[in-house]
Structure formats: structure tokens, C-alpha cells
Amino acid sequence: MALKKRRFDALIIGAGGAGLNAAIQLANTDARVAVVSKVFPTRSHTVAAQGGVNAALANVLPDNWHWHMFDTVKGSDYLGDQDAIEFMCREAIPTVYELEHNGVPFSRLDDGKIYQRAFGGQSQNFGGAQAARTCAAADRTGHAILHALYQQNVRARTHFFDEYFAIDLIRDDEGAILGALIMEIETGEPLLIEAKATVLATGGCGQVYRTTSNAHINTGDGTAMALRAGIPLMDMEFFQFHPTGIAGKGMLITEGVRGEGGYLVNKDGERFMERYAPNAKDLASRDVVSRAIVTEVKEGRGVGPNADHVLLKVDHLGEEIVSKRLPGIRESGRIFAGVDAVHEPLPVFPTAHYVMGGIPTDPYGRVIVPQGNGEEVVPGLYAAGECACVSVHGANRLGGNSLLDILVFGRAAGLDVIENLKENRNHRPLNESSVETAMARLTRWDQKGEGISVRALRDEFRKTMEDHAGVFRTEEIMAEGVEKLKALRDKLPDVRLSDHSKVFNTARVEALELENLVDTGIAIAYSALKRQESRGAHSRPDFPARDDANWMKHSLYFKQDDRMDYKPVRTKPLTVETFPPKERVY
């Protein structure tokens, strides 16, 4: 049977905040845009973001984008690109207003303006008093934003391919991206979408770890597709462990809890963050708080029968604040920890949460790769959101900057695609051999017979990632981990499905996701092994200091031969002075 084909001006893969904010820009023009998502759009993981989105609106306390920029550069441990950070912090303000105009039900202040709360790593006046910069819809901000963006796309009649799984990018011999091969999950049928521009907005990859705040769907599909297309991943060693996952489960308890006045205690009831971050205390940057919790537990001050977690105290805030500002957390605490946060503290431990690294892009969302002594744009390919690396988060992302990143750069990518379409009016000729390669990735799973199960390999891979690429990383632990992970990768060809049916075969989807997890996970572990310093979320007891002389550079991991390359950090902002690297204390 001949392969079915469709043609669009733009193809967006992923329907979270980045994909939908790119789509709405395009849908508001006369461009033909297709959004492909493996789940119905409002099931995308943006829906789970709780605390809010940063913008220097100054609705509660004095603020401006330049202070926001300083905090973000410092939070990144000076690995973020300062031009991209300036761009994001400036754009934050109109972006949040646009969201509000699009119907997002933000919480409100008495004067009718958008409610803003304090979050970790935020300051006034370049490192001064705590700022209040995070715009919130109670503790369901991501849900409120994702639904509003979906609704706007429904209004604009965006063409959605719901429950279609992206198999691989299609490219020609010059490396230009021509679209993607996708599969309709309901029928199991492949479909080729040709597009003049393709935007990867596939989100994160937290499922590479066993304990994670990420959803089942966060399997690094876009990052792995990029790797297979010969594109490197940047700064993958920087993976954020959120300090407050529900102990043993991983579900997230927003930083907004500490922003509203909650704090952490150990088994002695000691407010231990005072020792690690005398000024910011519980609102220090996430990497700092996560390491503090792990240290407390390692040194025997953990809580519970196994002394394996700490407590997050909220009960002193009173029922009114908790119900009004943190209703979702109260619900999660009840369901998953059996604790009513109004009366009892919540058991918490760091959980794998967010990948700072990703597909390298410029601030317009265009994917860039090394070429000669410089860099060049991959024709026809964009990336935005968690799967991309602009880089605004550097070695550590600040809370509230993730929703901001996906919205600002999703929008920027959508706008740049519009410009790009003016110059590229025609589809490039299709490259049949690339289509065949992509089809082979799909048909490979039709192989029958005995073999390893997807589940078994996935469980082992995720456990290995957790044990060997977690919060604290030594040469020995990581080197052993990389060998184990590569051995698991070598077993992939021996994995077999027992279910070869066509209709809504979720086992086949999980098999395709496993390949993506393996490629993305190894990028993380390998990049981590090679970086011999401690910076932001990458913490090495054997190299405890930051080493700006040798390591203030971005890493690039290539799948072919597991090769590493490096490129300089862009320290020159667009219009203001550079923030030079300083010691990072909170």
C-alpha cells in the first residue's frame, strides 16, 4: 500500500505550551499549520506546571526585566547565553499580558492586576531583597495556560493530528528538514507530513529516570529524533532535580509552597536551609536546595522509618492561604502522601524534574549546528521549549522560568517560521531514502519471536540512570554507569514485541519511546561523565568547584561514535553590560 502523504506549510510536533504558542502565531496568518501530538493536546505535560510564570510586571513589589535577567544569569551558574536571557526577560512582560488577553484565569490582587508570588532565586536590585515575580493561577498555572492556548488554537482552526506519534524527521542530502514520518496511534498507519518548516516542541525526558515528576509521555522523543538526524544535543549533563517531590512517589510539590512561606525541616525539626543558604534559606536556587536535602539524608538527619526524606512544613500558614493559593497541593498531599497539608507536614525528597539541555537553537528557535569554525542553521528545522536549549537556563533553571521559556520561544519560533515561509514558498523535493530509513524504524517492531521485553529493558535503563547520573556524580559512578547504559543500548536490537496488532497498540508506542529514552539518557550520562567541574545541577564531589577557566563552555553530544564537542558561552547581552561570573551564594 502506498504511503499516505499530506502537505503543510508548517509542521509542529508537540502540543504543549511551546507547540501551541508557535501554532497560534501561524494559525493567525493564512499559513497551513499542522500540530501533531501523541496525546490530546490538553494532556501535554505543560498541564502539570503548578507555580507560575516569571515576568517583571512589578504588580506586588518593585521589579524590572534587568533584575530578572541578573537572577537568571546567576541561577544558570553563568552558563546561560546572556543574549537569549535578555531576550526572554524582556519578552516575558508582553508574553504574560498576551496570555491574560487570551483568557488565562490568573489569580488577582486587590487592584485587579495579576497575582505574583515569590519564588526561589528571585531578587530585587541585582541580588538584594526577595522579589515577587511569578505570575500564578493558584497552583494550577500550567493547566490554565495550556487550556487557554488550546482554546485559542481551536478558535483559529489549527489543524490538529491528535494521537499521532512522530517516528522520525525526514531530511535531504544537504541536511534540510522536509517534515516527518508519523503514525496514527488509533490505526497504526504511517503518514508522511511534508512541511517547509518543522518545529520540534516535544517537551522533556524525565522518564529516563525511575523517580520523576514527569509524565509517562515525557520520553525525549524530539531530542532523540534530532540525534538520529545527526544534530547534537547541548548541555545535557544539566538535569534538574526538583527539591520537593512527594517522597517515594515523585509527584511534584511546587516551589510556590515555599514562596508562600512553607519551609523544610529535618528529623530534629531543624530548619536546615539556614545552614546552606543563610539569606535565601528555603528559596535558594533548586540545585542548592536539592543538594542540601540529599546531604541531610546522607548524614543521617532524614525523617521516616528509613530516614530517607525530609519534611515540608505548611501547616503554620493556616487553612485559608493553603486553600486559596495551594489547593492542588493540598489535594496531592491527601491523595499521594495521606497527609492534609493544613495540619501536617509533607514528606519530600528531590525528584527528576527538568532537563536544562536540549537541541541547540538561536533565540528565534532555529536549530543551529557547528560548521567549520562557526555555526549554521539547519534549514527547515526549529525547536522550542524543554526539548530545546537556547540556552537560557544554563546549568540550573529558576522556578517560573520554564513556562516562560516555552511561551517566549514557542512564540518566537512561530513568528520566525512566518518570515521563513515568505522566502521559502515551495516544498523541497522529497528524499525517498530518508523516508525508507524512518519507515524501517517503524517496521522493525514487526519482527516476531523470542526476545527481551520493552518493559524489562526500560526498567533496567531507568534504574541505571538513577543510580549513575543522579544528584551527586563521581568519575567512578558515572564511568560505570555509561558502560552499563551502552550495554543496554546494545541489547535494543534483541527487544521484541509480543503484540503486533494495529489498532491502538500502546506496546508499540512504548517500544518506540524506549529507543528515544535510550538515546536521550545516554546523551545525559555521557555529557555528565565528561564535564570535570561542579556547576549548577551538575555536582561532582571529585571536582567540587566551578572551573570557569576550562569549563565555562557548552557541551555538544553527537550520537554518532558518542562524540563530544564544545562551544563558548555567549556572554554578550543584546543591549546591556555583561554580567561577569561571580561566586554563587544565596
Q: Which residues contact other proteins by CB under 8 A? A: 39-40, 42-45, 47-48, 57, 96-97, 100-103, 105-114, 137, 140, 143-144, 147-148, 151-152, 154-155, 186, 215-217, 251-252, 328, 331-332, 335-336, 338, 453-455, 497-499, 501-507
Amino acid symbol at 529: L
**Residue 391: cis peptide before it, omega within 30 degrees of 0:** yes
CA 169 to chain CA centroid, nearest Å:
20
Retrieve residue 416's grid coordinates: 520566525
Retrieve residue 402's grid coordinates: 520554564
* Nearest residue to 176 (alpha-carbon basis) of 386, 420, 388, 373: 420
Amino acid symbol at 467: D
286 among known catalytic residues: yes
Catalytic residue among 32, 286, 397, 540: 286
First vs last C-alpha separation in the chain: 62
- Comparing CB distances to other proteins, the nearer of 39 and 191 is 39
* Nearest residue to 468 (alpha-carbon basis) of 455, 487, 452: 487
- Comparing CB distances to other proteins, the nearer of 144 and 355 is 144
Q: What is the DSSP letter of 206?
A: G
* Cα–Cα distance, 494 to 457 (Å, whole number): 10
- Comparing CB distances to other proteins, the nearer of 53 and 144 is 144
- Comparing CB distances to other proteins, the nearer of 329 and 390 is 329
The least distance separating other proteins from the CB of residue 130, rounded to whole angstroms, comes to: 23
- Comparing CB distances to other proteins, the nearer of 123 and 332 is 332
- Rounded to 10 degrees, what is the CA torsion of 486, 243, 393, 196? 60
The least distance separating other proteins from the CB of residue 5, rounded to whole angstroms, comes to: 24
Concatenate the DSSP letters of all residues of 374-394 into one string: EEEEEEEEEE-STTEE-SSST
- Answer whether 564's CB lies under 8 Å from 556's CB: yes
Q: What is the DSSP letter of 560?
A: G
- Comparing CB distances to other proteins, the nearer of 251 and 418 is 251
**Angle in degrees, CA 30, 36, 38, rounded to 5:** 160
Q: H or E segment at 195?
A: strand 190-200
Active site residues: 286
